Amino acid sequence: MNANRVAIYDSTLRDGAQAEGVSFSVAGKVRIARRLAAFGIDYIEGGFAASNPKDMEFFKQMQREPLDGARLAAFGSTRRAGRSAAEDAGVQALLEAGTSVTTIFGKSWGLHVRDVLRTTPEENLAMIADTVRLLKEQGRETIYDAEHFYDGYKDDATYALATLRAAAEAGADALVLCDTNGGCLPDDIEGITAAVAQALPGAALGIHAHNDSGCGTANSLAGVRAGARHVQGTVNGIGERCGNADLLPIIANLALKMGYTCLKPESLAQLREVSDFVFELANLRPNTRAPFVGQSAFAHKAGMHVDGVRKNPRSFEHIDPALVGNARRVLVSELSGASNVFLKAVEMGLQFDKSSPEVKEILQTLERLERQGYEFEAAEGSFKLLIQKVLRAHRPFFTLGAFRTIVEKQRPDATCVTEATLKLVVNDQQTHTVGEGDGPVDALNQALRRALIPLYPVLEQVRLVDYQVRILDPEEGTAAKTRVLIESSDGRRNWGTVGVSGNLIEASWEALVDSFEYKLFIEESERAAS
pLDDT of residue 335: 52
Q: Is 517 helix (H, G, I), strand (E, B) or coil?
A: helix
Q: How far apart are CA 204 and CA 195, in angstroms?
A: 14
- What letter does residue 116 receive in the DSSP assignment? I
Smallest CA-to-CA distance from 497 within 506, 505, 509 is with 509
Q: How far apart are CA 174 and CA 428, in angstroms?
A: 74
Q: How far apart are CA 255 and CA 446, in angstroms?
A: 49
Dihedral (CA of 196, 194, 246, 261) sign: negative
Domain with CATH 3.30.160.270 in the chain: 399-529
Beta bridge partners of 424: 400, 431
Q: How far apart are CA 186 and CA 205, in angstroms?
A: 17
Asked if residues 342 and 441 have their Cβ atoms less than 8 Å apart, the reply is no
- What letter does residue 270 receive in the DSSP assignment? G
Torsion of CA 315, 318, 324, 325, to 10 degrees: -20
Q: How far apart are CA 9 and CA 277, in angstroms?
A: 18
Asked if residues 152 and 114 have their Cβ atoms less than 8 Å apart, the reply is no
Helix (H) or strand (E) holding 164: helix 157-169
Smallest CA-to-CA distance from 214 within 182, 251, 179 is with 182
Across the 530 residues of the chain, what is the mean pLDDT of every consecutive 10-residue run? 88 95 91 94 94 88 87 96 93 95 96 93 97 97 98 97 98 98 97 98 97 98 98 97 97 96 91 92 89 89 74 88 88 58 63 68 78 78 83 82 89 82 90 91 93 93 89 69 90 89 92 93 81
Pairing of strands 7-10, 43-48: parallel
* CATH class, range 399-529: alpha beta
pLDDT of residue 2: 72
For 126, residues 6+ apart whose C-beta sits below 8 A from its C-beta are 166
* 7-281 CATH choice from 3.40.50.300, 3.80.10.10, 3.30.300.20, 3.20.20.70: 3.20.20.70
Helix (H) or strand (E) holding 505: helix 504-529
Backbone angles phi, psi at 517, to 5 degrees: -65, -35
Asked if residues 83 and 92 have their Cβ atoms less than 8 Å apart, the reply is no
pLDDT of residue 382: 87
DSSP 320-381: -GGGGT---EE--STT--HHHHHHHHHHTT----TTSHHHHHHHHHHHHHHHTT---TT-HH
Asked if residues 110 and 82 have their Cβ atoms less than 8 Å apart, the reply is no
Domain with CATH 3.20.20.70 in the chain: 7-281
Q: How far apart are CA 19 and CA 77, in angstroms?
A: 20
Backbone angles phi, psi at 82, to 5 degrees: 80, 10
DSSP 482-501: EEEEEEEE-SS-EEEEEEEE
